[in-house]
Amino acid sequence: MNSVLDALVGDPERALLAAVKMLALFLTAVVAFRLTGRRALTELAPFDFVTAVAVGALIGRTATATDASWLVGAAALFTLLVAHVAVVYLRFLPGVRQVADPSPRLLVHDGVILPSALRRCGMTRPDLDIVLRQHGITELAAVRLAVFEPNGAVSLITRAEHGDPACGWNSPAPDIPPFGGDGPST
């Protein structure tokens, strides 16, 4: 019975130290994220996601490890966040941008689905239908552009929003940015 209780409860002093260390690491992470900006938590590009997961793993491991102090965890956390900030700013260099940020992918052009783009983005037709319904679109023909963005979101531009004469609204269409090779040929 004593071994079961020991397995469930363990050493109360060690548990208290882990709780204190977790609280200290949490506060350290809050301050560090505040200093590095909101980007790391709001717009999850792939490198943002990796950073968020690594921060969680680091905090969890450091808080419960008996051989890792708060200082070790905080040093690793700050190093990770400095590396993240470096990638954020280095993305302005074309070579780094290609590695850090995937290109947007055109999924729908003038109501026509581009199946190869859907596959490359890991989306099925039902996935696309869900996104359309979430934006209140009931007919594919109403979609001028559907773009799979680098952060995983799907942006939609409908014909009515951008001057389709069939919709009775005559404003000029915006410039369409280049996409990751899935767009229609011109």
The CATH number for 154's domain is: 3.30.240.20
| Residue 178 included in any domain | no
| Residue 131 included in any domain | yes
Q: Is the pTM of this model over 0.85?
A: no
86 and 6, same structural domain?
yes
| Residue 175 included in any domain | no
Whether the Cβ atoms of residue 52 and residue 40 lie closer than 8 Å to each other? yes
Res 118: pLDDT: 93
Q: How many domains does the chain have?
A: 2
Res 26: pLDDT: 83
Whether the Cβ atoms of residue 106 and residue 145 lie closer than 8 Å to each other? yes
| Residue 100, both tokens | 């850090």
Res 171: pLDDT: 40
146 and 58, same structural domain?
no
Res 174: pLDDT: 46
Whether the Cβ atoms of residue 73 and residue 25 lie closer than 8 Å to each other? yes
The Cα–Cα gap between 173 and 47 comes to 33
126 and 74, same structural domain?
no
Res 1: pLDDT: 63
84 and 15, same structural domain?
yes
Range of the domain at 37: 2-98
64-83, pLDDT tens digit by residue?
888 888 888 888 888 988 88
94 and 17, same structural domain?
yes
pLDDT along the chain (186 residues), means of 10: 71 81 83 63 69 88 84 88 87 82 90 94 92 93 92 87 50 47 47
74 and 28, same structural domain?
yes
10 and 83, same structural domain?
yes
DSSP structural state of residue 68:
-
94 and 6, same structural domain?
yes
73 and 140, same structural domain?
no
Res 169: pLDDT: 39
Res 164: pLDDT: 53
| Residue 186 included in any domain | no
| Residue 185 included in any domain | no
136 and 71, same structural domain?
no
